[in-house]
């Protein structure tokens, strides 16, 4: 483009020389020689400058790493990193999207609009199978965060749910499969009313306290703070462990394989900064609470701080993550192969830098 511009300028200047005359003495030849000598020098410098430019370095991200997460506990461990990114103090730039439903993340992730996503573990498995290995799991970020709550004083145990209606969200993901497995193991039948996201459940519970709902933190703490009659009926994390014999792993950090392959250093940097963020939230709940509120995850700092211990935020990687996820997915696969995308993902599902 520089050469074309300079050539055009040369032609313009040359044409202007046609008008240069002094007392009948034609100075065109002399002026043209000066003009073209200057243009040739400029073109040479431009060409040299272009040739000296270094080609893009493989693995260097040209823009922000695009991170998506869900409104709830999967984002709670991310808030310190989000805050640091907003301040410009991170090792690399980031953009963050917090969505209300898994579908709002999974489609764009597969389409290449996100690079990293914090999503339910089984959804990562489904996407891995659906894309023939296009999505990888690099860490478990939350263990069990699900609780059955209600303001009905007559409901105090799982057995009391029999024949009743229970609100739940995340149809086709962890909340559905955990509740189904726990109730089946206990031989309890209920009517499940699925809502789009936990915020909708929480609104119904606030308006009608006798409602029974499956909620994650921090919505559980918020509901109990708003109405002292609301209480925990069952910790589904413990119930899952009793029913299956394996720990409950709720959320994970997933990567687009193409992004991870092209940008290994960016992935390493993100995982390091994410681990630091998780540690900050768990070790400094009072300081992390306002950051959680700022992301719209809790109504106030008191609720956010109280919710952190029950949110079970972790950064489980490597062999520990693989062991926990494999056991969890095996249980889901036995109950419904579609819940993991038709089959248990092979070892390539687990990101290995």
Tell me: the pLDDT tens digits for 53-76?
333 344 444 479 999 999 988 899
| Phi, psi dihedral angles at 16 (to 5 degrees) | -70, -25
- Give pLDDT, residue 305: 96
- Give pLDDT, residue 11: 39
CATH topology of domain 62-353: D-Maltodextrin-Binding Protein; domain 2 (3.40.190)
- Selection from 267, 273, 74 nearest residue 170 by Cα: 74
Residue 224 Cα to chain centre, angstroms: 28
- Give pLDDT, residue 19: 38
Q: At what angle do helices 121-130 and 174-185 cross, to 10 degrees?
A: 120
Place of tokens 């020389």: 17
- Give pLDDT, residue 45: 33
Q: At what angle do helices 103-110 and 121-130 cross, to 10 degrees?
A: 30
- Give pLDDT, residue 57: 43
Which pTM value belongs to this model?
A: 0.75
Place of tokens 């270094």: 54
Tell me: the pLDDT tens digits for 208-257?
999 999 999 999 999 999 999 999 999 999 999 999 888 899 899 999 99
Per domain, the residue ranges of the chain are: 2-52, 62-353
- Give pLDDT, residue 174: 85
Question: How far is residue 348 from each of residues 58, 129, 150, measured CA to CA in Å?
Answer: 23, 11, 42
User: Within the chain, which residues score under 70 in pLDDT?
Assistant: 1-62
């Amino acid at each position: 483009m520089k050469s074309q511009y300079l050539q055009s300028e040369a032609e313009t200047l040359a044409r202007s020389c046609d008008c240069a005359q002094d007392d009948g003495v034609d100075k065109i030849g002399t002026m043209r020689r000066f003009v073209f000598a200057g243009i040739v020098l400029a073109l040479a410098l431009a060409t040299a400058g272009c040739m000296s430019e270094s080609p893009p370095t493989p693995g260097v991200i040209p823009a922000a790493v695009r991170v998506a997460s869900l409104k709830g506990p999967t984002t709670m461990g991310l808030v310190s990193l989000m805050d640091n990114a907003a301040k410009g103090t991170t090792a690399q730039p980031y953009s963050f999207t917090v969505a209300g439903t898994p579908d709002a993340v999974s489609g764009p992730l597969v389409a290449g609009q996100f690079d990293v996503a914090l999503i339910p573990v089984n959804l990562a498995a489904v996407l891995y199978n659906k894309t023939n290995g296009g999505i990888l799991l690099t860490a478990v970020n939350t263990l069990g965060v699900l609780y059955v709550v209600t303001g009905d004083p007559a409901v105090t145990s799982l057995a009391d749910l029999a024949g009743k209606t229970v609100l739940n969200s995340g149809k086709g993901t962890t909340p559905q499969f955990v509740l189904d497995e726990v109730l089946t193991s206990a031989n309890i039948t209920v009517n499940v009313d699925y809502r789009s996201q936990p915020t909708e459940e929480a609104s119904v519970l606030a308006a009608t306290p006798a409602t029974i709902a499956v909620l994650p933190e921090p919505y559980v703490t918020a509901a109990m703070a708003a109405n002292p009659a609301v209480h925990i009926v069952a910790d589904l994390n413990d119930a899952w462990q009793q029913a299956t014999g394996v720990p409950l792993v709720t959320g994970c950090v997933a990567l687009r394989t193409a992004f991870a392959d092209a940008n290994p250093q960016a992935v390493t940097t993100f995982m390091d900064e994410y681990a630091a963020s998780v540690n900050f939230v768990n070790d400094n709940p009072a300081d992390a609470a306002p950051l959680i509120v700022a992301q719209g995850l809790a109504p106030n700092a008191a609720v956010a701080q109280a919710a952190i211990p029950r949110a079970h935020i972790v950064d489980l990687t490597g062999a520990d993550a693989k062991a926990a996820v494999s056991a969890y997915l095996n249980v889901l696969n036995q109950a419904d192969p579609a819940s993991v995308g038709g089959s248990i993902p092979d070892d390539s599902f687990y990101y290995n830098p």
